[in-house]
């Protein structure tokens, strides 16, 4: 067994990120193939208890305490620092150690594990806050909601388990704006989730595509629904030499928190209305379409198409799921988008159909992450568009 473990570690240490993911997936598949029915039941039915344990550990600042000092800590020491009852804390720590969230050194003595160090980081704590506080009760409602509604393919953001679970009559985006703590968890989670990962700028040949047709007055890059401007700022910093305006578009309440960066403009805009910037070189939308069902996406595309010049490109930055063999990380996000927004993550086939039905053509797909298949879908007019 030790030799097998060492070989797995060697593969990971000598390989790239794709290899590491493949090893993890292979080990997960192996585990599922050799466990008994009781193993399977125990593993799957207690997943929510594992997340609860992490949530409690975060609330007690347990992971920060362990990570601050590489040495072991006794239960009594941790009890004094957290204020938690020592008998309860010993039970919690033993449970966390059982799935490697902490390391059990000896009786009633614990140290940080790799998982502890992960959840000592604020951004990853926010992921737990978002999934436990914001999404947990909505996911819990999903089976009942589907049964009561005859198992539809949910495509209405106003009629999802979200509304029933939270007893609200507004869509998720409006609800989040009305609940600052929920929004804070979500925003911090989104920022930490992609930290250090490749971006579209690592694969899309911007300079080659922008070799002609630029001018100081023409919009170069319009980030539609761009939030506070992370992508537009990164674009401008990567390509300061390219002529043209760089614009972040979003709703006024979002732009109130926008990053102030030289050469990046902000513009209030609702993407369900006609695009106000005409003839830009690149219209860019990141993780917008996965928030909406097809009929709403077609509205966004039409509003953009009507503004495009013959040499414009629409850059859709989203996951492109394979038509079969979807990775578990992609599949669970698809289920979450359906449950909360009546939306979806799309397969390659679904992307081509959506774009073609909207009067455009996918010229190429540039993929920049391995497991999630985050990609730039480069879309161009099928026929000459209005300038």
Hey, which residues are catalytic here? 290
Which residue, 346, 341, 372, 344, is CA-closest to 135?
341
Token pair for 349: 């086939």
Residue 32 φ/ψ, nearest 5 degrees: -65, -30
- Give the pairing of strands 264-268 and 245-250: parallel
3-class SS of residue 363: strand
Q: How far apart are CA 266 and CA 246, in angstroms?
A: 9
Token pair listed for 145:
């909601």
Sign of CA dihedral 167, 168, 173, 175: negative
Residue keyed to tokens 């359906």: 338
Rounded-to-integer distance, Cα 58 and Cα 62, Å = 6
Query: Please, are residues 279 and 387 in contact by the beta-carbon 8 Å criterion?
Result: yes
Residue 174, C-beta contacts closer than 8 angstroms, at least 6 positions apart: none
DSSP state of 159: S
In order of 206, 277, 343, the CA distances from 361 in angstroms are 19, 21, 22
Quote the tokens at residue 119. Answer: 């959840």
Phi, psi angle pair for 224, to nearest 5°: -85, 125
């Amino acid at each position: 067994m030790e030799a097998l473990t060492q070989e797995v570690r060697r593969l990971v240490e000598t390989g790239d990120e794709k290899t590491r993911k493949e090893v993890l997936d292979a080990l997960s598949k192996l585990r599922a193939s050799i466990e008994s029915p009781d193993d399977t039941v125990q593993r799957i039915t207690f997943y929510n208890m594992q997340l609860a344990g992490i949530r409690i550990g975060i609330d007690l600042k347990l992971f920060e305490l362990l990570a601050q000092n590489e040495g072991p800590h006794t239960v009594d020491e941790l009890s004094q620092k957290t204020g938690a009852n020592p008998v309860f804390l010993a039970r919690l720590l033993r449970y966390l150690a059982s799935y490697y969230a902490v390391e059990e050194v000896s009786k009633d003595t614990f140290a940080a594990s790799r998982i502890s160090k992960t959840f000592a980081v604020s951004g990853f704590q926010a992921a737990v806050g978002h999934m436990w506080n914001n999404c947990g009760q909505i996911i819990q409602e999903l089976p009942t909601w589907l049964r009561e509604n005859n198992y539809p393919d949910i495509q209405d953001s106003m009629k999802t388990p979200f509304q029933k679970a939270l007893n609200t009559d507004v869509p998720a985006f409006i609800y989040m704006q009305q609940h600052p703590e929920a929004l804070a968890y979500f925003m911090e989670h989104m920022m930490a989730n992609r930290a250090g990962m490749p971006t579209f700028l690592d694969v899309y040949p911007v300079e080659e595509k922008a070799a002609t047709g630029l001018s100081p007055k023409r919009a170069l890059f319009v980030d539609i629904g761009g939030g506070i401007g992370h992508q537009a700022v990164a674009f401008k910093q990567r390509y300061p030499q390219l002529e043209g305006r760089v614009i972040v578009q979003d709703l006024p309440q979002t732009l109130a928190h926008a990053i102030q960066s030289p050469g990046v403009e902000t513009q209030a805009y609702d993407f369900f209305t006609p695009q106000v910037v005409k003839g830009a070189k690149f219209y860019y939308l990141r993780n917008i379409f996965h928030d909406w069902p097809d009929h709403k996406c077609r509205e966004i595309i039409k509003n953009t198409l009507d503004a495009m010049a013959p040499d414009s490109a629409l850059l859709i930055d989203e996951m492109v799921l394979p038509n079969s063999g979807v990775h578990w990380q992609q599949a669970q996000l698809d289920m979450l988008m359906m449950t909360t927004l009546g939306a979806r993550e799309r397969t390659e086939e679904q992307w081509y159909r959506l774009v073609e039905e909207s009067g455009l053509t996918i010229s190429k797909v540039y993929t920049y992450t391995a497991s999630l298949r985050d990609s730039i879908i480069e879309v161009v007019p099928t026929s000459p568009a209005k300038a």
